[in-house]
Amino acid sequence: MDTYTGKSIFKKIAIGKILFYQKGEQTIKRTHIEEVDAELKRYEKARAAAIEQLDALHEKALKEVGEANAAVFEVHAMMLEDDDYVDSIVNIIESQHVNAEFAVATTGDNFSKMFANMEDDYFKARAADVKDISERLINILSGKEGDQVIGDQPVIVVADDLAPSETVQMDKKKLLGFVTKYGSANSHTAILARTMNIPALIGVDIQEEWNGKLAVVDGYEGILYLEPDGETLARLQKRQQEDLETEKLLQQMKGKEDVTLDGRHIRLYANIGGVKDVADVLANDAAGIGLFRSEFLYLEANDYPDEETQFRAYKTVAENMAGRKVIVRTLDIGADKQADYFKLDKEENPAMGYRAIRICLERTDIFKTQLRALLRASAFGNIAIMYPMIISVDEVRKIKRIFEEVKQELKEQAIPFGDVEQGIMIETPAAVLISDMLAPEVDFFSIGTNDLTQYTLAIDRQNMKLDHFYDSHHPAVLRMIQMIVENGHKHGCWVGICGELGADMTLTKTFLEMGIDELSVSPAFVLPIRKMIRELSIG
């Protein structure tokens, strides 16, 4: 048995024989053409056929992986109509009197290299898209389109890399998983793999002689086992069986409403820490994202993430959620979440110190950059914004003034943005006690039960010695939640829970009886809670 490590794209187990997929590298010959007009017509016919293929792929992907993930094929079709790309091909055919295959290959290489050399990660990723559409055109021109990757038997596909179109065209019933040498966790292909529930590894040192050998892809540990021994195989088969049992629950609950037996509806959303987590949200069929912890964009960086970096992240999530609500919590740095470049002073009691909205209201340049990125991204989906660690009405009004300043700047620059709901996190006793005063100022409340519990009970939740004193079911905490709901509803403000307590199924009925409008939990809890909600009667 040999083992190889890689980066996991989807946490699942695949067991089967390997199919080593190697793209046929076509040697494109440069051929002199006398009839230039005829060659241009041949090219145009191939381009039309390629667009037709991509439209069909888009329809297939819509059914299998959803609108947001199918959009890559719309992008590819648009790229085939891009003026610069088309003009380059036409110019080469006309000026050099060469065959269309050579003109497409040359243009594809030139554009791919241009994108690959850019510093921006988004544009770097377009290099693969250009290669994909160019290869499609060349295949059509040379009569080689329609090749099938997978045969009759289910396999684990191993390849240097896979284009999105190659992934979608594979028969899902025959594709057990895939392993690639190249690719990124945020590539279209990776997103498709997660959405299609296919275990996959990238960054593996693959070898052609693996073809036909038995292998196991362990998406949990990021390991490929080649010709596993009996003990390893039995262990992973057991884990795979457990996954299948979970899958039965997923299939039973997917697409069903989050409604009680007596007709009470609730919004069941998911919490995420970054773009990569959206796949779990989609796989678990959450109705939206109730907490996007934006601070992870800062914690994973070596310097303040600029507006473009943040915009791309928020935009990607909004587009992938395809119209479902995405609630982004503004920067919640400080306390146990530290980034060196913020140069925050060491504090005796950081949980109650200089953190979250307190930093944003003093360092408004950082705050405005984030608000600009969020507002710009709101033009591409249903984004809402919530502000953490609020303790006063004055803070909320300051935030709203800054928010309006940013909106005005964008208007003056003719930058589009959507209609954005604004809410606050209720996670301090102060906010609870004046929730009747805060509710008229905002569209919604989201209760952060983790901090609310520690502040209410005067217990540092980072202190392991206090674990047995920490009681999230304490009557004081539950009474506060009830008070928040009542005060919010009196003033037309909807109320949700985004803390860990939202996933506590011993309290699900209690929360519904309190009148909670939304629960936002880790993606894995969505379907079990949906099942419970659908079995409850609140009365």
Q: What are the C-alpha distances in Å from 356 to residues 70, 272, 328, 366, 391? A: 37, 18, 13, 12, 12
Q: Is the pLDDT of residue 221 over 80?
A: yes
Nearest to 76 by CA among 62, 55, 103: 55
Under 8 Å CB-to-CB from 231, ≥6 apart: which residues? none
- Which sign does the torsion angle of CA 489, 273, 248, 189 carry? positive
Q: Is the pLDDT of residue 488 over 90?
A: yes
Which uninterrupted H or E stretch holds 239?
helix 230-253
In angstroms, rounded to a whole number, what is the distance separating the alpha carbons of residues 215 and 226? 5
What are the tens digits of pLDDT across the range 291-311? Answer: 998 887 776 667 788 899 889
Q: Higher confidence at residue 271 or residue 486? A: 486
Q: Is the pLDDT of residue 70 over 70?
A: no
Nearest to 132 by CA among 61, 72, 174: 72
What are the tens digits of pLDDT across the range 325-360? Answer: 999 999 886 655 565 666 666 766 666 666 778 888
Structural tokens at position 529: 């809670």
pLDDT of residue 186: 44
| Position 231 confidence tier, pLDDT thresholds 50, 70, 90 | very high
User: Of 29-38, 153-162, 428-437, where does mean pLDDT reach its minimum?
Assistant: 153-162
Reduced to 3 states (helix: H, G, I; strand: E, B; else coil), residue 338 is coil
> Looking at residues 443-451, what average pLDDT do you find?
92
In angstroms, rounded to a whole number, what is the distance separating the alpha carbons of residues 205 and 458? 51
> Looking at residues 363-372, what average pLDDT do you find?
91
- Which sign does the torsion angle of CA 284, 287, 293, 296 carry? positive
Q: Which residues pair with 156 in a beta bridge?
A: 18, 177
Q: Which long-range contacts (CB under 8 A, 24 or more apart) does 61-64 make?
A: 61/168, 61/192, 64/168, 64/172, 64/196
pLDDT of residue 425: 94
- pLDDT averaged over every residue in the chain: 84
What are the tens digits of pLDDT across the range 112-159? Answer: 888 777 766 666 667 778 888 888 888 888 776 544 556 667 889 888
Which uninterrupted H or E stretch holds 447?
strand 444-447
Q: Where are the alpha helices (DSSP H) in 329-392?
A: 357-362, 364-377
Q: Specify whether 360 is catalytic.
A: no
Question: Of 58, 188, 360, 493, which one is the catalytic site residue?
Answer: 188
Q: Specify whether 498 is catalytic.
A: yes
In angstroms, rounded to a whole number, what is the distance separating the alpha carbons of residues 193 and 159? 14
| Position 461 confidence tier, pLDDT thresholds 50, 70, 90 | low
Nearest to 86 by CA among 127, 133, 53, 52: 133
pLDDT of residue 24: 54
Q: Which domains does the chain have, with CATH numbers?
A: 2-23+148-237 (3.50.30.10), 36-141 (1.10.274.10), 264-535 (3.20.20.60)
